[in-house]
Structure 1
Amino acid sequence: MSDPTTSILSSLSAALEGAVAKVRPSIVSVHSRRSRASGFVWKAGLVVTADEALAEEGDVAIKLADGTSRPATIAGRDHTTDVALLRFDSAGLTPVALTSRVPALGGLASVVAAENGNPTVALGAVSLVGERWRSLRGGDIDARIELDVTLRHRHEGGLALNASGEIFGMAVLGPRRVLVIPSATIERVAARLETHGRVARGYLGLGLQPVKLDDGVGAMVMSVDGAGPSAAAGIKQGDVIVAWNNERLTGVRSLLRSLGPDSIGSAVDVAARRGGEPVSFKLTIGERPER
Structure 2
Amino acid sequence: MIEGSSPSVVQAEAAEIDWTAVSDAVSNSVVSIQVASQDGAGQGSGVVWDDQGHVVTNHHVVESAANGGQIAVTIGNRAYPATLVGSDAATDLAVVKLDEIPEGLAAITRGDSTALEVGQDVMAVGNPLGLSGSVTTGIVSALDRPVSTGQIKNSLVVTNAIQTSAPLNPGNSGGALVDSTGALVGINSSIATIGGAEGASGSIGIGFAIPVNLVDNIAGQIIENGAVQHAYLGTSTTTGQAALSDGSAVLGAEVQEVVGDGPAEAAGIKKGDLIVAINDVSITSSEHLVGTVRALKVDETASFTVIRDGKEQTFEVTMGVSPDL
User: What TM-score do you get using the length of structure 1 for normalisation?
Assistant: 0.64
List alignment gaps of at least 5 residues for structure 2: 1-11, 149-155, 194-205, 239-253, 262-267, 275-284, 302-319
Shift of 1:140: 6.0
Which position in structure 2 is the counterpart of 1:77?
87
Aligned letter for 2:44?
A
- 1:228-280 residue CA offsets vs partner (Å, 9 max, x unmatched): x98xx9xxxxxxxxxx952239999799779857568x9xxxxxxxxxxxxxx
Which position in structure 2 is the counterpart of 1:277?
none
Q: What secondary structure does 2:117 align onto? A: coil
Q: How many Å separate the matches in 2 of 1:253 and 1:107?
A: 25
Residues 125, 74 of structure 1: alpha-carbon distance in 2 compared, 3 angstrom cutoff:
same
Residues 65, 78 of structure 1: alpha-carbon distance in 2 compared, 3 angstrom cutoff:
same
Which position in structure 2 is the counterpart of 1:224?
none
Q: What secondary structure does 1:55 align onto? A: helix
Residues 287, 71 of structure 1: alpha-carbon distance in 2 compared, 3 angstrom cutoff:
same
Asked if structure 2 preserves the Cα contact closer than 8 Å seen for 1:193 and 1:199, the reply is: yes
Q: How many Å separate the matches in 2 of 1:55 and 1:85?
A: 11
Shift of 1:139: 5.3
Aligned letter for 1:83?
L
Q: How many Å separate the matches in 2 of 1:17 and 1:258?
A: 35
Which position in structure 2 is the counterpart of 1:127?
141
List alignment gaps of at least 5 residues for structure 1: 1-7, 211-215, 220-228, 234-243, 267-284
Is 1:162 paired with 2:179? yes
Is 1:113 paired with 2:126? yes
- RMSD of equivalent CA atoms: 3.9
Q: How many Å separate the matches in 2 of 1:117 and 1:73?
A: 23
- 1:204-234 residue CA offsets vs partner (Å, 9 max, x unmatched): 9xxx9x9xxxxx9968xxxxxxxxx98xx9x
Shift of 1:24: 0.7
Aligned letter for 1:248?
G
Q: How many Å separate the matches in 2 of 1:138 and 1:263?
A: 18
Residues 50, 22 of structure 1: alpha-carbon distance in 2 compared, 3 angstrom cutoff:
same
Aligned letter for 2:141?
S
Asked if structure 1 preserves the Cα contact closer than 8 Å seen for 2:165 and 2:207, the reply is: yes
User: What TM-score do you get using the length of structure 2 for normalisation?
Assistant: 0.58
Range with greater deviation from structure 2 (85-94 or 112-121) = 112-121
Shift of 1:151: 1.1
Which position in structure 2 is the counterpart of 1:91?
102
Aligned letter for 1:30?
I
User: Could you tell me which of 98, 109, 112 is aligned with 1:100?
Assistant: 112
Shift of 1:175: 3.8
Asked if structure 2 preserves the Cα contact closer than 8 Å seen for 1:77 and 1:83, the reply is: yes
Q: How many Å separate the matches in 1 of 2:76 and 2:182?
A: 21
Shift of 1:22: 0.5
Q: What secondary structure does 2:227 align onto? A: coil
Range with greater deviation from structure 2 (47-56 or 253-262) = 253-262
Asked if structure 1 preserves the Cα contact closer than 8 Å seen for 2:125 and 2:177, the reply is: yes
Range with greater deviation from structure 2 (168-177 or 187-196) = 168-177
